[in-house]
Amino acid sequence: MRLCVFTEPQLGATYEDQLAIARRAEELGFEAFFRSDHYLTGSGGGMPGPTDSWVTLGALARETSTIRLGTLVTSATFRLPGPLAIAVAQVDAMSGGRVELGLGTGWYEREHAAYGIPFPPVGERFDRLTEQLEIIKGLWATPPGMTYSFEGRYYDVVDSPALPKPVQPAGPPVIIGGTGPKRTPRLAARYADEFNVPFASLDDTDAQYRRVVEAIEAEGRDGRAPIVFSFAQTIVCGATEAEVRRRAEAVGLNPGGPQAGQLYGTPQRLAEQISGFVKAGASRAFLQVLDLRDLEHLELIAAEVAPLLD
């Protein structure tokens, strides 16, 4: 099981906060540092305000050396596909090939309204996401010296030089996630290197993995590596029950026990919870830490939980 630190900086985190946790996660041996791509919290606050995901990851790329970096997930409504392909390829080069792109439809209408971003109906958002995936992967796959064109309903690309190229030969891995029962598995089967189920119960996660497997069998993935299955869960870890309750209360979670979408407890209990996802087929865990200044939380997970998963 590969462990990744997953953060929500829109809740209230400066760049310096994110740099500190990314560096500490790297020192502790976590595989990746991922962040959300949001411009607003549920309450509309989150001082000092949002930080742009790809600006942040570009900076982190130059201030880390081994940890992988990515988004879970970039909203397709925030950026045009061509400029997004350029930005991600550039950050991949800046990091020496350590970047991954999570890409989704976008869902939070209020943040779009707050920053003047169009928010089309869900069907159109899925259509736009499909075209974005086709274009981004097409641009990255175009050989140097060749051009790329695409004609779609929402986006047209005409004789693009398809530059810059990412450092990773096949392009940064693309992560698609969600719990939608139909279009999401089909998109994953066609475009994803990794499929992630966020904040769902073990049973619902297992059911969604099975839908993706069925979609892959229908789609066919000849010549491509098998898809990676992963999950995202909020984590609350403590050496003692009292410490677990303290950490839960500090971030506004129920101190009495875990809810769906949460890993909650002492290291042994957490390892048991994670093992259920392993049995369902997951090989990667995105551990959402809500208090970015509690670096001792990361240290406990690395020292006490990770060894139990080996």
Average pLDDT over residues 238-261: 91
Average pLDDT over residues 23-52: 92
Tell me the backbone φ, ψ of residue 288, rounded to 5 degrees. -80, 115
Which residues neighbour 81 within 8 Å (Cβ) at sequence distance 6 or greater?
Answer: 131, 132, 135, 136, 139, 155, 157
Specify the pLDDT at position 152: 98
Specify the pLDDT at position 44: 65
pLDDT surpassing 90 at residue 111: yes
Model pTM? 0.97
> Residues 58, 142: contact at Cβ < 8 Å?
no
Number of alpha helices (DSSP H) and beta strands (DSSP E) in the chain: 11, 12
Average pLDDT over residues 83-105: 98
* pLDDT band of 34, cuts 50, 70, 90: very high
Element (H, E) at 174: strand 174-177
What pLDDT digit, counting tens, does each position of 281-298 carry?
Answer: 999 999 999 999 999 999
The C-alpha atoms of residue 288 and residue 292 are separated, in whole angstroms, by 10
Q: In whole angstroms, how large is the CA radius of gyration of the chain? A: 19
The C-alpha atoms of residue 195 and residue 180 are separated, in whole angstroms, by 12
